[in-house]
Amino acid sequence: ARAGDLDLAESIFDGIRFPSVISWNTMLAAYDQFGRIRELEDLFDRIPERDIVSWIILLSANTQEGNFARARLVFDRMPQWSVVAWNAALSSSMRSGDLNSAIALFHATPERNLITWSTLLGAYSQYGHHRLKDAMAVFRAMPLYDVVTWTILLDVCFASSADEANRYFHAMPARNLVTWNTMLGGYSRLGDARKTARLFQLMPERDILSWTALLTAHAYGRNIYECRRIFSEMPYHDTASEASMLGAYALAGNLEDAQRFFAGMGVRNVVAWTCLVGAYARAGRFQGALDVFRTMVLDGIRPNEISLCCVLLGCS
């Protein structure tokens, strides 16, 4: 299954006369990996003796699919709970945006580890500066910290103050690439191309996320020439970096360049389609924006809130 051959995994599993719980769980994990939630649940119902791992795989799979109510039902049905199960339920509540449930689960957890605390901190981080004080209170109450915890805190701080985030960044006892990218992404979202570029130069290592953050910062500044230079110097391109370059053309009002770039993209996700819809809308070509939107829907791409706002502008 890890090699990407689900049919082979099914064939091998079906050939096991008396599968152990480990075999059952391995097959559950394979279905989870491929997003086959229906087959996963059918297999789960067939397991003669489930262990805690079986239940956690089912819970996590429903969370990944966005079936948060179902995930909570699975948790409530579990015959016993481990700290991993509590953390999985807490993570599900966090991802659903149900902060009150996440807080209640945290306080009900009999044993908390670093993941438990970090998950609650991450839940508060989704609310930005509105829950900054609560997030800081959780951070200060934590019995210990790791680089993940500090990185989540940076994300929380950026919602309120870039200077505060910078202060904590320099106070960190250790940093990794994710930490650097969090700072870079924070400055990029603010459109501060100067600070983003300066931090980019200081990074001990970079990945495609680092390059994309730098590109996005200059895109917000409408510096299309710098965006082209950065894009050309990237070690490789992925869907996100291509969408960022397309967004740069859209923000700069370069509709023809945006059309040409979009046509050459290998993979067009909802972000890419939305950028093109936005490019037409910015150019005042509202009929064109509507036409692109219709094509997107016919292509099987589900619109997001931003693409809907762009097309509503066109309709008005």
Of 10-24, 143-157, 209-223, where does the model show the most confidence?
209-223
| CA dist., res. 131 & res. 208, Å (int) | 31
| CA dist., res. 139 & res. 149, Å (int) | 8
| CA dist., res. 223 & res. 192, Å (int) | 12
Of 14-18, 126-130, 181-185, 300-304, where does the model show the most confidence?
181-185
pLDDT recorded at residue 3: 44
Average pLDDT over residues 189-205: 94
Which residue matches tokens 């394979």?
Answer: 30
Residue 313 confidence class, pLDDT cut points 50, 70, 90: low
Side-chain-side CA neighbours of 213 within 13 Å: the count stands at: 27
| CA dist., res. 220 & res. 70, Å (int) | 40
- Asked whether residue 272 carries a pLDDT value surpassing 80, the answer given is yes
Tell me, what amino acid is at 230? Answer: I
Top pLDDT among 235 and 124 is at: 235
- Provide the token pair at 197: 């570029």
pLDDT recorded at residue 310: 66
| CA dist., res. 224 & res. 285, Å (int) | 21
Residue 314 confidence class, pLDDT cut points 50, 70, 90: low
| CA dist., res. 26 & res. 20, Å (int) | 10
**What percent of the chain clears pLDDT 70, i.e. is strictly above it?**
95
**Residues comprising the chain, all counted:** 316
- Provide the token pair at 75: 């948790």
Residue 4 confidence class, pLDDT cut points 50, 70, 90: low
Q: Where are the domains positioned within the chain?
A: 186-236, 241-316
**What percent of the chain clears pLDDT 90, i.e. is strictly above it?**
40
pLDDT recorded at residue 184: 94
| CA dist., res. 183 & res. 194, Å (int) | 13
Average pLDDT over residues 24-41: 90
- Provide the token pair at 247: 């967004």
pLDDT recorded at residue 187: 93
What rounded mean pLDDT belongs to the chain? 87
- Asked whether residue 163 carries a pLDDT value surpassing 70, the answer given is yes
Q: What pTM was computed for the model?
A: 0.72
- Provide the token pair at 266: 């290998």
- Asked whether residue 138 carries a pLDDT value surpassing 90, the answer given is no
Of the candidate ranges 91-95, 160-164, 182-186, the one whose mean pLDDT is the lowest: 160-164
Average pLDDT over residues 62-80: 91
Average pLDDT over residues 101-123: 89
